[in-house]
Structure 1
């Protein structure tokens, strides 16, 4: 599968089959995240892999839009160390998470990106549940598992979103 097919095929999955995800597939996804680009190669990321059902349930209870964390066999929580890159850690984590999600799809797994850092209450509760030190930011939770659904995905056409040379100039 070429890169564009991989990108176009990935979906946000919120329903998972109950079977566990093989550890080597989880490692494969984390390896892809580790190789994401980062500003100045500062690599401000760390990850917590959560497979314990009770912990996943507690995380799901905290986040209004993350109830499916209780059912997903794996939740990868992405952390950032802003001291490693105070200006670009958010972009760096975005690249790492995207790599993880594309790698998962290439392995037949589904994912869903659940933002955490935009809500101080969610971030603090995740920090408490997972024992995250105060110098790290809890950026996102990514559910991971075998999909039990195949949602559709629409996109705006290129001619609606692309400007050439300056805003408003269409090709």
Structure 2
């Protein structure tokens, strides 16, 4: 599958089959995240791979919109090491997480990116996962074999693309 097809066919999955995810597939996703671009090559990301059912259940209880963390075979917690971070750490983390999501999809896995940073859930996640103070818990990413195939809509290019100045449309390419 070419890149555009991969990007267009990825979905946020909230229902998973009870099938374990192979370790090599998890490592593939982490390797893809590791190669994301970052400001000044700061690479502020670190990840906690959570496979323990009881811990996944506790995380799901804490996060109001993350109930499916208990159902997914794996939850990957994306951390930002603030000692390594620049003023662009949020963009850096977004790039790493997107690489991870696409790598998972390329292997037939489903994911859902659940925001954690700057939420009422971040401190509880830090406590449950024993995360040191110098880190921010950016996201929890559920990972597993999808039990659903939701549809996805997107605004048209005409609605989102401006040429030369805001509001100007390109006649044709």
Normalising by structure 1, report the TM-score: 0.98
For 1:48-89, what per-residue CA distance to the aligned partner results, in whole angstroms no more than 9, with x for missing partners? 000000000000001111000000000000000123123011
Alignment of 1:58-97 (within 5 A): 58-97=58-97
Distance, in Å, in 1 between the alignment partners of 2:143 and 2:85 is 27
Q: Distance in 2 between matches of 1:123 and 1:134?
A: 11
Deviating beyond 4 angstroms after TM superposition, the runs of 4 or more aligned structure 1 residues are: none
Alignment of 1:1-171 (within 5 A): 1-119=1-119, 121-171=120-170
User: Which structure 1 residue ranges, 5 or more long, are not aligned?
Assistant: none
Give 1 or 2: higher helix fraction: 1
Other structure's SS at 2:121 match: helix
Computed over aligned residues only, the root mean square deviation of the Cα atoms, in angstroms, reads: 0.6
Q: How many residues align structurally? A: 170
CA distance in 1, matches of 2:123, 2:153: 34
Q: Aligned with 2:168: secondary structure? A: coil
Question: Distance in 2 between the 1:101 and 1:72 partners?
Answer: 14
Q: Secondary structure at the match of 2:37?
A: coil
Alignment TM-score, normalising by the size of structure 2: 0.97
